[in-house]
Chain A
C-alpha cells in the first residue's frame, strides 16, 4: 500500500537526483565547453602579409616564397610559417600553398618533371596544383596574391580546399 511516507521518499529522491544532475550538467558542461571551444573559435584569419619584393620574382616560373607572420597564438604572440609557390605570368600571379592536401607536409617543386612532389608519402601534383598520383585526395589550395608598391602580398586565409 503506497502510503504518504513512500511519496515523500520518492519526492526527496527525485529532488536530490534533479539537483545533482543540474550540478553535474552545469559544471561538466562548462568544463567541456571550455575544452572544446578553441577547436571552434581559433581559426586562421584572412590576412594579407607581405612576402618579399616583386622584383625578386622570376617570370614564368614557380618562385618559392617563405611567409612568416605574427599572429596571436592563444596567450602567446607567435609566428606562423607558411610556404607558397608563386608564378608570375605577365600581370597575373598564380599562387599555390605548398601544404600537401594529404597530411600537411610541404611539397617541393621539381624543376625537371615540372611537378610538385610531396616527400612524405610520394604524393604528386601537376603544375596547376592538381593531384595526379599518390595519396593526396585534393589539389593544392590556391592562394590570393597581389603586387602593391613593388611588394608581393599573399592572403594567408586559406579557404580549406
Chain B
C-alpha cells in the first residue's frame, strides 16, 4: 500500500534509486566501528528533543506566574505528559554527552584534518548551540533550581572587563532575573537556536557528504 503510493511519485520524480544509492547503500570505509555512531545518535536525540519540545509547547507558558504551574500540570495531570517531559529532559542531557563523545572520536581519529577543517568548525558552532540550548532550557521550569542556577550563570559574564556588565544585563533583560528573562530565554530556546541548529547541521551534513567520512586509523 505505502509502497504503491511511493511508486506513484517515483514514476514521476525518480528518487528511489538516488535515495537507495546515496542513503541506504551509501558506501563507508571498511573497519568503521560503533564510535562512528555518536554523531548520528546526537542527531537522533535532537530529533527527539524537537518532537517532545513541540508537544511541550502546547502546554508551557513562559511567564513568571504560570511557568511552574504549567510544568506541574504537564508532569502530573496531562496523560503521557510526564513521558514527554521525561524524554525531553533525558535527551537533552544525553545530547551534551554524545556531542562530547562525537567530538572526542573525531579528535582522536584526527578526522578534523584537511580537507575536513570546516566540519570541525561547524561542529564547534553546534557544540555552542547545544550548550546554549541547555542553559536557556534549564531556566524554563522556573523552579528553585532553575532560578538560582540561571542566576549564577547570567552573573558569570559580569566579570569580563568592560562589556561584562552589559552582557549580564542583556541576558536578563535588565538588572533583575524576572519576567523579561524567562520570555527571552524562551524565545531563544524555541525559535533562535533551532533555526541556527538547522543552518549549521545542514552545512555539517552537506560537507560530510562531499568529502566522505575519514578513514579509520
Q: Which residues of A contact B (CB under 8 A)?
A: 13, 23, 27-28, 30-35, 37-38, 41, 74-76
Contact = CB atoms under 8 A, between A and B. Distances in A.
Contact of A74 (B48, B73, B80): B73
A37 B78 contact: yes
Q: Most chain-B CB neighbours within 10 Å: which of A23, A34, A38? A: A34
Interface in B43-77: 44, 48, 51-52, 54-55, 58-59, 66, 69-70, 72-74, 77
B24 A13 contact: yes
Count chain B CB atoms within 10 A of each CB in A30, A32, A41, A76 and give the residue with the most.
Answer: A30
B199 interface: no
A75 B87 contact: no
B69 A34 contact: no
A30 B87 CA distance: 10
Contacts of A38: 78
Contacts of B84: 30-31, 34
Given A75-B69, A75-B70, A37 B80 contact: yes
B66 A37 contact: no
Contacts of B51: 27-28, 31
Contact of A27 (B72, B77, B79, B87): B87
B79 A37 contact: yes
A34 B58 contact: yes
B213 interface: no
Contact of A41 (B55, B72, B79, B87): B79
Contacts of B73: 74-75
Contact of B66 (A23, A31, A33, A75): A75
A33 B72 contact: no
A27 B52 contact: yes
B81 interface: yes
A25 to B, nearest CB: 12
Given A34-B80, A34-B81, 12 more contacts: A27-B48, A27-B52, A30-B80, A30-B83, A30-B84, A30-B87, A31-B51, A33-B79, A34-B74, A74-B73, A75-B72, A75-B77
A31 B69 contact: no
A42 to B, nearest CB: 10
A38 B81 CA distance: 11
A37 B80 CA distance: 9
Nearest to A74: B73
Q: Which of B24, B79, B87 has the most CB of A within 10 A?
A: B79
A75 B66 CA distance: 8
Contacts of A13: 24
Contacts of A35: 55, 58
Contact of B52 (A31, A33, A37, A75): A31
Nearest to A40: B79
11 contacts: A30-B55, A30-B83, A31-B51, A31-B55, A34-B55, A34-B79, A34-B80, A35-B55, A74-B73, A74-B77, A76-B69
A33 B51 CA distance: 13
Nearest to A38: B78
B196 to A, nearest CB: 23
A75 B80 CA distance: 16
A23 B24 CA distance: 19
Contacts of A23: 44, 48
Contacts of A41: 79
